[in-house]
Structures are given as C-alpha cells and as structure tokens.
Amino acid sequence: MGRLSQFMQRLRYNFSNFMIGRYGVDQLGKFLWGFVLALIILGFFIRHPLLEIVTILLIIYLYFRMFSKNIAKRYEENQKFLDSSYKFRRFFNNKKSMLMDLKTHHIYKCPMCKQKIRIPRGRGRVEITCPKCKNKFVRGRKH
C-alpha cells in the first residue's frame, strides 16, 4: 500500500473517530447549508463586507452544530426548525401538488354554490352534478 493511501485511510479513520458522539447534519443543517450556498453565490454579485461576515459566521455556526456533542440540544433545535417550517413547507407542497393536479384535471366551479369540482382532462363535454348542492351544469369543449 502506498504512503498516500495509507495516510488517507488514517485521516478517514481519524475523522470517523472524531465524529463519534457528535451531531452531524440534520434537516436544519441541510437547510442552512443551502442558505450559505445561496449567500456565496449572492456574494459573487454583491460584494459587501457584511454579507461576507454573515456567510462566514453562518459557516462557523454550521460547523459548530455538526461537531457539537450536545446532541439533545441540537436535536431540539432541529425539531423547532421542523415545527416552525411545517406550515411553510406544507404551503409549498400544496402549491406543487395543485400545479401537478392542473395538468391532469380541470377545476370547475359550480355556478350555484361556487363549490370547486375536479374533473379529469380529456373527457370533452361533460355534465357535472355538484356534490354539494346537486346542481347540474355542463362544462368542457366538444371534441
């Protein structure tokens, strides 16, 4: 075995030894790394000392979290992050699934009660019975 690969193996071993009992990366960490990346890219366009300081401080904080041995505390932070971002994430997931849905379905509004009704696309002209008020109406184009 070459000296270099021996050295690399040792380095890897030392690193995994070093990481034992340390926190590592969680969802909050991944989110913040993404944020740091955005800041670095932004830094190419806006050269501002404050931006640099914030980026560096954030990187230091992220390393501190990764190497932290206070796992309970870090876990708690991550839970807080997941809790507070829940509505936000749900909002975007909803928007995304709504957009996906529009590709496969039409959304029609009942003229009587304004109830929204999903009808699969490609059905041509259809008579729709409103599930709420039982009003019947026709929608869609003739083929």
Nearer to Zn ion, 9 or 129 (CB): 129
Interface segment toward Zn ion; rule CB under 5 A; list 50-58, 69-77, 88-96, 107-115: 107-115
* N-terminal to C-terminal alpha carbon distance within the chain: 73
Task: Determine, following the binding rule CB under 5 A, whether residue 132 of this chain makes contact with Zn ion.
Answer: yes
Q: Which long-range contacts (CB under 8 A, 24 or more apart) does 24-31 make?
A: 24/66, 25/66, 26/74, 26/75, 26/78, 27/78, 27/81, 27/82, 28/65, 28/77, 28/78, 28/81, 28/82, 29/62, 29/65, 29/66, 29/78, 31/81, 31/85
For the CB of residue 106, give the shortest distance to Zn ion in the complex, in Å.
16
For the CB of residue 121, give the shortest distance to Zn ion in the complex, in Å.
21
Q: Structure tokens of 138?
A: 């026709």
For the CB of residue 118, give the shortest distance to Zn ion in the complex, in Å.
14
Considering only residues 52, 115, 119, 140, which one is a binding residue for Zn ion as defined by CB under 5 A? 115
Q: How many of the chain's residues bind Zn ion (CB under 5 A)?
A: 8
Considering only residues 10, 112, 125, 129, which one is a binding residue for Zn ion as defined by CB under 5 A? 112
For the CB of residue 128, give the shortest distance to Zn ion in the complex, in Å.
9
- For Zn ion, the binding residues (CB under 5 A) are 110, 112-113, 115, 130, 132-133, 135
